[in-house]
Amino acid sequence: MFNAAFTNVNVNFDDHFLLKNINWRINDSQHWVITGQNGSGKSALAASLTGIGEIESGTILGLPENIAVVSFEAQAALIEAERRKDDADILDVISEGTTVEEILNDGCALPDAQKKMVSAFGFESLLTRSFRKLSTGETRKVLLIKALTSNADLLILDEPFEGLDKEADALLHELLTDYSRTTPIIMVLNRFDEIPEFVSHIAYVEQGTLQHSITRSDENAVNEIKQLLHLKTSELNIPPPPVSDTGITIKPGSPLVTIRNGKIAYGDTTIFNNLNWQINAGEHWQVSGPNGSGKTCLLNLITGDHPQCYVNDITIFDMKRGNGETIWDIKQHIGYVSSALQWEYKVSVSVRNAIISGLFDSIGIYQQYSDEQRDIADDWLALLGMQTMANKPFNQLSFGDQRLVLIARAMVKHPPLLILDEPCLGLDDVNRHMVLALIEKICTNSITTVLYVNHRLEDKIKGISNHLSLGDNQSVTIN
């Protein structure tokens, strides 16, 4: 019996990786899967259960002493130990190394179960073979048999299905299902479709932190984690614009936006002044600042929705503001997402049609669209992991899913400039991470320049290296 608790734990792994502020409770009635993208810290979290890594702060209490582990690191360590036993250079003899049978018998507490597993995996003919002469998949099977017959109080399996053929994969699922009736299991898995039915809890790790720990029975939470993992790990590229679309072109080398000595003031109150700012194509920007610092006002200067845009020296897409251009001349080049837009988007349309509406700069669909445009919308739904929601009414989506769809709507034309005004406002942690993951994909996989406005500097996005900070004392910092 055990009831383990991680409390504010920081674990250092030889200065190469750091688990940060881990708070986690597990007990012997639970079966966990730890998931996340590559490099997120999944394996590190599992390894910390076995005492690997240096605890810099916090406490880990209540873990059992008898823990069996199967991982790539354990596999490599066993192979390396066998290599060290080879002293042929000293003794002038050929060392065969330890046999499979000897390795399996070392620490075996359930010999009858071992015999059945050896037979089930077809290992009888390999028992006398040197462990060093096994294939990678065969060595993995040896570790699995050894762990499952050790009578451990906790079993930790890091990607146990990797390297196994189809028959062995099915057999392991069956064995683990039986094993789970008596022993808690913690697994590290990349793929949701590999999670066995007996798993009761899911932990999602990102950048060395345990972002979410949920029960398997919470269907909404599970679907959100699946969607987040899809966005984080999907290799899909940003869908292209329709071929029939003539496209939006900007003169090569010209700045997208130039503001000279920008100023917003209301009577005697100045929001900001002396703002000199240039946005070049491919130059992604994060704009931050406290409430009231003028972030949304600045965006409205760019889009033409602020009355003071005509008293400022602003050039947008080679058009100097106030020289006869219409607001639509500007907006056709811009994709825009904000909470205000989400509140206004209350028309009764399907999720697919909400995305297609971005091709017509409309709220809702009021004209016929082509098969090509429909396919493009479906490609965006695939990127979002929302294929099954294509015909669902937009207004029946969760708040976070609506935000993702509206970002896709803003991007469907591949505008030169995508403005995201507080896109994470009102979102819970899971939906916030999904939105951030989608923005990251846009920054790294499209020709669109992103202007990302938020008030939380910790919501940084890979690919955004430029920062404009609006202060609460009319100050402006650009770096």
Asked if the structure places residue 243 within a domain, the reply is no
Same domain assignment for residues 454 and 364: yes
* Confidence label for 384 from pLDDT (cuts 50, 70 and 90): confident
Same domain assignment for residues 200 and 271: no
Same domain assignment for residues 466 and 425: yes
From residue 191, how far is each of 73, 146, 195, 198 by CA, in Å? 20, 25, 7, 16
Same domain assignment for residues 87 and 189: yes
Q: What is the pLDDT of residue 86?
A: 61
Per the structure, the complete domain to which residue 64 belongs is given by: 3-95+152-233
- At 26-67, the pLDDT tens digits run 999 999 999 887 678 888 999 999 999 999 999 999 999 899
Residue where one domain finishes, among candidates 167, 201, 233: 233
Asked if the structure places residue 143 within a domain, the reply is no
Asked whether 229 and 212 are in contact (CB, 8 A), the reply is no
Same domain assignment for residues 345 and 433: yes
Residue 85, token pair as written in the block: 């036993």
pLDDT, averaged across the chain: 85
- pLDDT average, residue stretch 354-367: 88
pTM of the predicted protein model = 0.62
Residue where one domain finishes, among candidates 201, 233, 265: 233
Same domain assignment for residues 322 and 184: no
Domains in the chain: how many in total? Answer: 2
- At 196-212, the pLDDT tens digits run 999 999 999 988 999 99
Same domain assignment for residues 223 and 265: no
Same domain assignment for residues 228 and 309: no
* Confidence label for 242 from pLDDT (cuts 50, 70 and 90): confident
CA 383, CA 238: separation in Å to the nearest integer? 8
Same domain assignment for residues 168 and 268: no
Asked if the structure places residue 129 within a domain, the reply is no
Same domain assignment for residues 298 and 416: yes
- At 90-99, the pLDDT tens digits run 555 556 678 9
- pLDDT average, residue stretch 114-126: 91
Q: What is the pLDDT of residue 475?
A: 63
CA 432, CA 444: separation in Å to the nearest integer? 19
Helix (H/G/I), strand (E/B), else coil: 99:
strand
Asked if the structure places residue 134 within a domain, the reply is no
Asked if the structure places residue 430 within a domain, the reply is yes
Residue 353, C-beta contacts closer than 8 angstroms, at least 6 positions apart:
364, 365, 377, 394
Q: What is the pLDDT of residue 362?
A: 85
Nearest CA among 192, 211, 177 for reference residue 33: 192
CA 286, CA 461: separation in Å to the nearest integer? 9
Asked if the structure places residue 65 within a domain, the reply is yes
Asked if the structure places residue 215 within a domain, the reply is yes
CA 470, CA 293: separation in Å to the nearest integer? 6
Q: What is the pLDDT of residue 463?
A: 86
Asked if the structure places residue 107 within a domain, the reply is no
Q: What is the pLDDT of residue 155?
A: 96
Q: What is the pLDDT of residue 157?
A: 95
Which has the minimum average pLDDT: 279-293, 368-382, 408-422?
Answer: 279-293
* DSSP per position, 184-218: -EEEE-S-GGG--TT--EEEEEETTEEEEEEETT-
Residue 9, C-beta contacts closer than 8 angstroms, at least 6 positions apart:
19, 21, 22, 23, 48, 55, 57, 58, 59, 60
* Confidence label for 246 from pLDDT (cuts 50, 70 and 90): very low
Same domain assignment for residues 424 and 285: yes
Q: What is the pLDDT of residue 95?
A: 60
Q: Rounded to 5 degrees, what angle do the CA atoms 164, 170, 171 make?
A: 90
Q: 33, exposed or middle or buried, with CB in 10 Å at 0-12, 13-18, 19+?
A: buried
CATH number at residue 452: 3.40.50.300
Same domain assignment for residues 388 and 334: yes
